[in-house]
Amino acid sequence: MTSDDWASVADVCERVAARLPELAGASVSGIRRDLEAYLVVPEDEHLAAVAEQQRRRLEALAQRRLLDATDVARAAELARRRARQGIPVDVLIGAYHVGDQELWRALCVDPRGATPLLPDVATLMLTSLHAISMVLAAAHGEVTRELQGHRVTLSHRLVELLLTEGAGPEASRVADALELDPDGDFNALLWRRTGGEIVLPPEVQRELDRAPVPAVHSYHSGVVVVLGQDPPEDWLHLLAGRLAPAGLVGVGLRRPGLDGAATSLGDARLALAAADVDRPVVWFAEAWAEACLLAEQARLEPLLADAVRVGEAHPHLAETVLAFAASDMSVARTGETLHLHANSVTYRLQRWAQLVGWDPRSFDGLIRSVAACRLALRGSSR
């Protein structure tokens, strides 16, 4: 094929270029309709970028060449900008496909088009698109890794500040940089792996990456810390459920502001301390009494030690006391829960009272007994 043969293609490219504002507008409309991630890009900026991209594509086609160094540099620069705007690389490449489809339709419908040469034009366009996709992916990946590294550093710093110093001016600045509202509500979740290296399971990492709300995670003192901005409760349940098979999870209360975030982290730490293999996920909202008790175990040890030893020696008595408390002090309901006759329940409660000196059928005696029984059964399960 001679240069004269390709002249008809160059003529078509020139006529299509004259319609560039119309083509770029149609491409932008299609991209923003089908690829919603692009809605974060200002429309005038988006239109200018697509028009420039298509102009360069037409120039390369007219000259029967692939993209040159300048074309590649411009594409890489755009990929870096889109990465910083949060556009995923597959969406970015998809947008280039939309732009090329508009160009291809325009080339095909030109009334004086070089129809016999369209297969060669298609081959050149596809080859160029493949090459540009590799450039886009490489440049986008550079910025993504840079941003991820920066976010990891900021996340670790925010968690460290909240755990050691609480809310303050620096914590507020770091939260802003992480796109967290310092005055919003926060929920904390802590995960400790049982055996093996503390590495998030891949499915959990993916879940955090696509979190429905702003969220950060970091590693601190042997646990993974997740802090979410007003996360839906069902999402927290999902996250905790995916972490539980490989470790223990504690979930704090939702609390307002960065002071609340620091407190929620404390909640989650107390809840984590109450978790065990039989109950790997503990919500502070549901187990706050036990969590606070365990946190003060050393302080209470002289008061509870004798009763704890009784519970460890007679776990069936401790289980009955706890079931009695959970059954609103109803002997009949306790019997149903434990599959025991009511007389057997009564005997066990009396036997506990004889051994420890606290009657679990009284309010004060039940509080003391529950504390001791929880510690006793927790110790015997380890």
Higher-scoring residue by pLDDT: 205, 129 = 129
* Shared-domain flag, residues 10 and 129: yes
What's the mean pLDDT in 8-25?
Answer: 90
Whether 158 is covered by a domain: the verdict is no
CATH of the domain at 198: 3.30.70
* Shared-domain flag, residues 7 and 96: yes
Cα–Cα distance list, 270 to 37, 62, 191, 273, 326 (Å): 39, 69, 12, 5, 21
| pLDDT tens digits, 260-289 | 999 999 999 999 988 888 789 999 998 888
Q: Determine the structural domain holding residue 336 and report its residue range.
A: 296-380
pLDDT at 220: 82
Q: At what angle do helices 69-84 and 89-109 cross, to 10 degrees?
A: 130
| pLDDT tens digits, 314-366 | 999 999 999 998 898 999 999 999 999 999 999 999 999 999 999 999 998 99
Whether residue 40 has pLDDT greater than 60: yes
Whether 237 is covered by a domain: the verdict is yes
Total number of domains in the chain: 3
* Shared-domain flag, residues 278 and 305: no
* Shared-domain flag, residues 355 and 228: no
Residue in the block written with tokens 């993504």: 144
* Shared-domain flag, residues 287 and 327: no
Residue in the block written with tokens 């986008």: 140
**Where among 277, 294, 311 does a domain terminate?**
294
CATH of the domain at 18: 1.10.490
* Shared-domain flag, residues 85 and 133: yes
* Shared-domain flag, residues 303 and 218: no
Whether residue 147 has pLDDT greater than 70: no
* Shared-domain flag, residues 29 and 101: yes
Residue 287 · residue 271 · CB < 8 Å: yes
pLDDT at 167: 80
φ and ψ at 185, to 5 degrees? Answer: -85, 145
* Shared-domain flag, residues 138 and 9: yes
- In the chain, % of residues over pLDDT 70: 96
Whether 230 is covered by a domain: the verdict is yes
Whether 97 is covered by a domain: the verdict is yes
Whether 164 is covered by a domain: the verdict is no
* Shared-domain flag, residues 214 and 275: yes
* Shared-domain flag, residues 27 and 124: yes
**Where among 242, 262, 294 does a domain terminate?**
294
**Where among 146, 172, 202 does a domain terminate?**
146
What's the mean pLDDT in 8-30?
Answer: 91
* Shared-domain flag, residues 304 and 339: yes
